[in-house]
A = this chain, B = another copy of it.
Amino acid sequence: MSHNTFGHLFRVTTWGESHGPALGCVIDGCPPGIPLTEDDIQWAMDRRKPGGSRFVTQRREADEARILSGVFEGVTTGTPISILIENTDQRSKDYGDIARQFRPGHADYTYFAKYGVRDYRGGGRSSARETAARVAAGAVALKVLQTLVGGIEVRGALVQLGIHKVDRDNWDWAQTAENPFFSPDAASVPAWEAYLDGIRKAGSSIGAVVEVVADGVPVGWGAPLYAKLDSELAAALMTINAVKGVEIGEGFGAAVLSGEDNADEMRMVDGKPVFKSNHAGGVLGGISTGQPVVARMALKPTSSILTKRESIDTSGQDVELITKGRHDPCVGIRAVPVAEAMVSCVLLDAYLRHRGQTGGRVHEVGN
């Protein structure tokens, strides 16, 4: 990962600002011969799209992903896939104050100090709007994984909204499509609605935790030591706007476990190795174990709030500012499909490199 590109053999470069004419990505190294249409991408775009409920930004974007290259007669050709998403709802307005003031907790100040110039409209490059391009790339990655490897599912859920966690005994993936929070726990929804309505009406915001589970990942993906699968997942998730923490498997909970409790014991069942637990979250020594890959990320509350905060401006004056405009009261919600997309891209890239170095076969016990 470097600059605005991530991945090695399956490599994604994103570009674009919140209020520019368009944004997009170039996907390079995609395996050839994979059936791919814009519909394979659009369903994922729609999941992340703003304006879907009162709990996300009211900006209206069609978020239509247009494929400009790399696909011919319905299949990928192995050449770069350029995807373009037009911005259509950039409101023209006076940015006077935002242009000169730094929102506390936002990237405004650091972009200014680093570059001396920034596109302040809607956060410019640092806006979560950029994640639309990631979702497009992730949809391509998932399609490739499901075509080449089969049996892989990458699914995310919101597991904590501020102080409220889901009840894992109620976990039902199907529920994530049935409520505006991507919650897997139907019982959580009424309380979350009331809680987030209160925050939204107060012009405030709140943090969250997102969990992504990849089922069906074979053993062997990931390349120790500095391309460990968990390291690449951590890097990828930490690039998502507002993310401040990343965990694999037990994560921070592992700190209080004993070696006995943490060990995922194994048995042979029907001639296959089977783990009796998954504290590891599907990764040992940086290599996938064959169990579900489980990653979580914590997101801070968005810094765009209606409460007055102290800050400074570009001329070096103290100011007090509030941030008006259309914002997500909890950026964690729309981060769910973004996290899925990043995990999909990381997994495919790990698979392709694994196939490159080793041929991709699994060495089975007893052979």
Contact = CB atoms under 8 A, between A and B. Distances in A.
A355 interface: yes
A79 B233 CA distance: 21
Interface string A103-117: 111110111111111
A110 B284 contact: yes
A365 to B, nearest CB: 4
B268 A312 contact: yes
A160 to B, nearest CB: 6
25 contacts: A1-B231, A3-B80, A4-B224, A9-B357, A20-B68, A22-B69, A23-B68, A23-B69, A31-B357, A32-B116, A72-B119, A77-B117, A77-B124, A77-B125, A78-B358, A114-B220, A232-B235, A234-B237, A244-B247, A245-B245, A245-B254, A255-B332, A262-B300, A268-B312, A317-B366
A226 B17 contact: no
A35 B101 CA distance: 23
Nearest to A25: B26
A46 interface: no
Contacts of A11: 3, 5
Contacts of A311: 265-266
Interface in A192-245: 199, 204-209, 219-228, 230-239, 244-245
A279 interface: yes
A167 interface: no
A68 B104 contact: no
Q: Which of A102, A116, A317 has the most CB of B within 10 A?
A: A116
Given A5-B28, A205-B259, A259-B204, A75 B244 contact: no
Contacts of A285: 106-107, 110-111, 126
B160 A255 contact: yes
A82 interface: yes
A248 B245 contact: yes
A256 interface: yes
A266 B104 contact: yes
Given A258-B206, A352-B357, A355-B359, A105 B244 contact: no
A337 interface: no
A54 interface: no
A251 interface: yes
Interface residues of A, number: 163
Interface stretch (A55-63, A181-189, A302-310): A302-310
Q: How many copies does the complex hold?
A: 4
A50 interface: no
Contacts of A317: 268, 366
A344 interface: no
A364 B261 CA distance: 52
A184 to B, nearest CB: 17
Contact of A256 (B17, B82, B163): B163
Interface string A34-75: 000000000000000000000000000000000011101101
Interface in A274-293: 276, 279-281, 284-290
